[in-house]
Amino acid sequence: MTDRYAVIGNPISHSKSPLIHRMFAVQTGQDISYEAIEAPLDGFRDTLVRLRQEGYKGCNVTVPFKFEAFNAATDLTDRALAAEAVNTLSFNDGLTGGDNTDGAGLVRDIRHNLDMALENKRVLLVGAGGAASGVVLPLLEAGAQLFIVNRTPAKACELAARFASSAVQGGGYEAIGDAQFDVVINATSAGLSGSAIPLPETLFAAGALAYDMMYGRDTPFMAFARDNGAALVADGLGMLVEQAAEAFNIWRGVRPDTAELIATLRN
């Protein structure tokens, strides 16, 4: 019998998750279906109840429901607790497992696909909203020395303080000064409106990676990085595929190969 999965969001028509998971299924010989479901903005819980009744095995959750998914889960992983957001739900008997694979996807893309070590590296995380909070714990676990900056500095300080670790601090853009970083990650939504972020031009250390968690467009942050000496500039497509592979592995116990799919999607 085919096991059913879905991604829930609003809007959802743009989602690449069905394509990615169907390709993983073909590659690994897993008998699953995967579709995109648009839940009404006030109807996330009802949608979950329906999926459960219809025998779905799990779902991915995207904007704007990751916090509601966090609240709906009865069994949370450490990284979901740290993120206060869930992107992967598993329906097991009476329990709802909640995990967050975004940070693991980012870390794997940086280390494995972009071949950039994170251990003891100076990492600047720009932004302190939902996208940023999802990746802090996996970056710390990878050994990064993390500085979080945000337009609203208090949010960066609060996010850093949640981890009670000397390896993570927060502040406003002005706190960057003339410090240099090996990896700079844009986790703001500024690229959606085409806004530039006021970062210092001296930001990038020799050999630095600039990483935008957004994909599908060249953002002002990526252009800024190219103009100011970043050795490598990446968008978030690899992270998208890697977070999906991590979710697939949670559900099916098989890790798909991602390299070929990333290349296919890029073309």
| Number of residues engaging ligand ATR in binding (CB under 6 A) | 15
CB-wise, 127 or 170, nearer to ligand ATR?
A: 127
Rounded (5°) CA angle 60-16-129: 60
CB-wise, 113 or 189, nearer to ligand ATR?
A: 189
Q: Of all residues in this chain, which one has the CB nearest to ligand ATR in the complex?
A: 129
Token couple for 39: 């839940």
> What whole-number distance in Å separates Cα of residue 67 and Cα of residue 9?
12
> What whole-number distance in Å separates Cα of residue 72 and Cα of residue 63?
15
Rounded (5°) CA angle 252-85-118: 80
Residue type for 44, please? F
- What backbone phi and psi angles, to 5 degrees, belong to 122? -80, 115
- What backbone phi and psi angles, to 5 degrees, belong to 118? -115, -20
Find the shortest distance in angstroms from Cβ 193 to ligand ATR: 6
CB-wise, 44 or 251, nearer to ligand ATR?
A: 44
**Residues 189 to 218 in contact with ligand ATR, rule: CB under 6 A:** 189-190, 195, 197
Is residue 131 a contact point for ligand ATR (CB under 6 A)?
A: yes
Contact string 100-129 vs ligand ATR (x = CB under 6 A):
---------------------------xxx
Token couple for 250: 């949670």
Contact string 140-179 vs ligand ATR (x = CB under 6 A):
----------xxx--x------------------------
Residue 17's nearest CA partner among 216, 254, 241 is 241
57 catalytic? Reply is no
Q: What are the catalytic residues?
A: 66
The contact set with ligand ATR (CB under 6 A) reads: 127-132, 150-152, 155, 188-190, 195, 197
